[in-house]
């Protein structure tokens, strides 16, 4: 954590500067962020796992403690209100002493009702971001979740400070430890559920600490893009394994996918071809690149793989222009990643709001902007054999463009996805995922 402590002050100053600009542009003089509270399950006395407002963890690595708040006025030391109740039912959060604390006016509270007394009396020009809208209005906040301010802040979240990159590199290391353990569990004959447990043990995470639910898919389950059933029994034969799983460090996520074949053969060869193509796509990441164009280039490259393995009977360009490539690659090439797995700001047209639409026929692309230095995004091309998408082609006019015998052969394997987290730089891109795997 030494390097994180070294880089944190510059991160905070950058965030203050961005917030100063956003407040001035939207006519507010201060910002109040609520981290959120615990939510009770309907008609029950249990609570859901707590997920902090990402706007709060952008400022400080407080990710697991509800009822915390931050108040910031430009030119003043930020106020951080930390919830630490006297509670013999639960283990209350320890008062923080980490590297970030000295940069805030830290106040400890025993209950949410103490927050208002610690804030300025006049909040008539304060913008509030959080889920407690009625409470904030009652306190006199002038604007509750004002979209122009949120749009302004989200626009800049794509670029990461050195502190944020450090957190994301650590999240990548943890995720790769989990992936290595999961692959070994697969090789040893474990069920989907047992592979999941091996991943959790290796990362040191509990399930609610994961950035998203693990996708652990054997055989044809890999064709379900967000498969999360975690079967307790093994299939009759073990053909393939697709794992999409990440980790977190200080609230920053990693998002990693790998696909493995149980034995050598055509599917293993196709997986190797996908891995090579994915690296080729990653190598094209640089500032000034329109991510929409990269997504379309990926369709051409993946269609070439399909043609090479005799899955389609047409060339790559025809497969893309006719929409056939989308049958096998139905999702977007990737997305911004950081405080969220699918980080905000991927469609941002500018600080004033607005959205940049994805290319026609590609509605699921989550990043449509021109890349800039220090942006971090995923690169996750995939090829799948999904019956719901193949059936209309089989029954339609383009049936002769597909080799259905190849579909029958490969459908048992589900699909292939390879995903890395990549940083755009003015030189060769930084591949956080490959670097983390190489360091194991």
Task: Map residue 423 onto helix, strand or coil.
Answer: strand
Predicted local confidence at residue 3, as pLDDT: 94
Torsion of CA 13, 18, 22, 28, to 10 degrees: 0
Together in a domain, 277 and 324:
yes
Which residue, of 113, 131, 155, is where some domain finishes? 155
DSSP state of 352: T
Domain of 52 in residue numbering reads as: 2-155
Together in a domain, 93 and 203:
no
Together in a domain, 144 and 172:
no
- Structural domain total, the chain: 2
Alpha-helical runs (H) found in 34-94? 54-57
Task: Map residue 325 onto helix, strand or coil.
Answer: helix
Predicted local confidence at residue 335, as pLDDT: 98
Together in a domain, 186 and 219:
yes
Together in a domain, 421 and 391:
yes
Predicted local confidence at residue 1, as pLDDT: 59
Contact 410, 267 (CB under 8 A): yes
pTM of this prediction exceeds 0.85: yes
Together in a domain, 111 and 169:
no
Predicted local confidence at residue 65, as pLDDT: 95
Together in a domain, 374 and 240:
yes
User: Tokens 């339609």 label which residue?
Assistant: 396
Which residue, of 126, 155, 184, is where some domain finishes? 155
Task: Map residue 116 onto helix, strand or coil.
Answer: helix
Cβ neighbours around 270 below 10 Å, total = 21
Together in a domain, 183 and 254:
yes
CATH number for the domain that contains residue 371: 3.90.230.10
Q: How far apart are the C-alpha atoms of 9 and 77, rounded to whole Å?
A: 13
Q: Dump the DSSP string for 239-284.
A: -EEEEEE--EETTEE--EEEEEESSSSHHHHHHHHHHHHHHHHHHT
Q: How far apart are the C-alpha atoms of 174 and 215, rounded to whole Å?
A: 16
Together in a domain, 114 and 247:
no
Together in a domain, 148 and 173:
no
Together in a domain, 274 and 418:
yes
Which residue, of 128, 155, 182, is where some domain finishes? 155
Which residues, other chains included, contact 416 with Cβ-Cβ below 8 Å and sequence gap of 6+? Answer: 222, 242, 259, 267, 270, 271, 274, 382, 383, 384
Cβ neighbours around 125 below 10 Å, total = 15
| pLDDT digit string, tens, across residues 33-43 | 999 999 999 99
Which residues, other chains included, contact 246 with Cβ-Cβ below 8 Å and sequence gap of 6+? Answer: 171, 175, 210, 211, 212, 253, 254, 255, 256, 341
Contact 179, 245 (CB under 8 A): yes
Which residues, other chains included, contact 2 with Cβ-Cβ below 8 Å and sequence gap of 6+? Answer: none
- Phi/psi for 101 (5° steps) reads -60, -40
Together in a domain, 122 and 214:
no
Predicted local confidence at residue 407, as pLDDT: 98
CATH number for the domain that contains residue 138: 3.40.350.10
- Phi/psi for 340 (5° steps) reads -110, 160
Q: Please choose, from the candidates 215, 259, 213, 214, the residue with its C-alpha nearest in 3D space to the C-alpha of residue 239.
A: 259
pLDDT tens, per residue, the chain with 440 residues = 589 999 999 999 999 999 999 999 999 999 999 999 999 999 999 999 999 999 999 999 999 999 999 999 999 999 999 999 888 788 888 999 999 999 999 999 999 999 999 999 999 999 999 998 899 999 999 999 999 999 999 999 999 999 999 999 999 999 999 999 999 999 999 999 999 999 999 999 999 999 999 999 999 999 999 999 999 999 999 999 999 999 999 999 999 999 999 999 999 999 999 999 999 999 999 999 999 999 999 999 999 999 999 999 999 999 999 999 999 999 999 999 999 999 999 999 999 999 999 999 999 999 999 999 999 999 999 999 999 999 999 999 999 999 999 999 999 999 999 999 999 999 999 999 999 999 99
Cα-Cα-Cα-Cα dihedral sign, residues 83, 11, 345, 244: negative
Contact 58, 161 (CB under 8 A): no
Give the CA angle between residues 41, 43, 45 to the nearest 5°: 60
């Amino acid at each position: 954590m030494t390097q994180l402590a070294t880089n944190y002050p510059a991160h905070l100053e950058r965030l203050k500067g961005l917030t100063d600009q956003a407040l001035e542009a939207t006519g507010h003089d201060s910002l109040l962020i609520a981290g959120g509270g615990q939510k009770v399950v309907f008609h029950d006395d249990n609570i859901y796992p707590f997920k902090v407002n990402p706007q709060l963890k952008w400022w400080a690595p407080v990710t697991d403690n509800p009822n915390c708040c931050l108040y910031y006025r430009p030119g003043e030391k930020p106020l951080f209100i930390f919830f630490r109740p006297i509670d013999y039912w639960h283990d209350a959060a320890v008062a923080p002493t980490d590297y970030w604390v000295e940069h805030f006016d830290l106040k400890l509270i025993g209950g949410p009702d103490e927050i208002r007394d610690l804030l300025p009396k006049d909040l008539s020009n304060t913008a509030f971001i959080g889920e407690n809208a009625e409470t904030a209005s009652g306190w006199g906040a002038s604007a509750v979740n004002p979209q122009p301010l949120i749009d302004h802040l989200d626009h800049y979240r794509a670029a990461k400070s050195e502190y944020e990159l450090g957190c994301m590199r650590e999240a990548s290391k943890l995720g790769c430890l989990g992936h290595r353990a999961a692959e070994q569990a697969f090789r040893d004959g474990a069920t989907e559920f047992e592979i999941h447990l091996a991943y959790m043990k290796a990362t040191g995470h509990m399930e609610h600490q994961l950035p998203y639910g693990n996708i652990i898919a054997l055989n044809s389950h890999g064709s379900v893009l967000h498969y999360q059933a975690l079967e307790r029994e093994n299939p009759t034969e073990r053909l393939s394994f697709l794992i999409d799983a990440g980790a977190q460090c200080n609230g920053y996520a990693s998002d990693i996918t790998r696909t493995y074949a149980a034995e050598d053969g055509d599917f293993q060869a196709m997986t190797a071809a996908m891995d090579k193509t994915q690296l080729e796509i990653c190598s094209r990441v640089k500032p000034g690149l329109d991510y929409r164009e990269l997504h379309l280039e990926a369709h051409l490259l993946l269609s070439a793989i399909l043609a090479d393995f005799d899955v389609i009977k047409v060339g790559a360009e025809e497969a893309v222009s006719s929409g056939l490539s989308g049958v096998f690659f139905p999702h977007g090439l990737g997305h911004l990643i950081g405080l969220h797995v699918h980080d905000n700001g991927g469609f941002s047209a500018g600080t004033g709001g607005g959205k940049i639409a994805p290319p026609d026929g590609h509605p699921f692309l989550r990043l449509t902007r021109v890349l800039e230095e220090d942006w971090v995004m995923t690169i996750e091309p995939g090829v799948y054999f999904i019956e719901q998408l193949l059936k209309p082609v089989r029954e339609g006019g383009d049936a002769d463009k597909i080799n259905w015998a190849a579909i029958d052969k490969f459908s048992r394997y589900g699909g292939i996805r390879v995903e890395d987290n990549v940083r755009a730089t003015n030189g060769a891109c930084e591949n956080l995922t490959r670097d983390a795997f190489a360091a194991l």
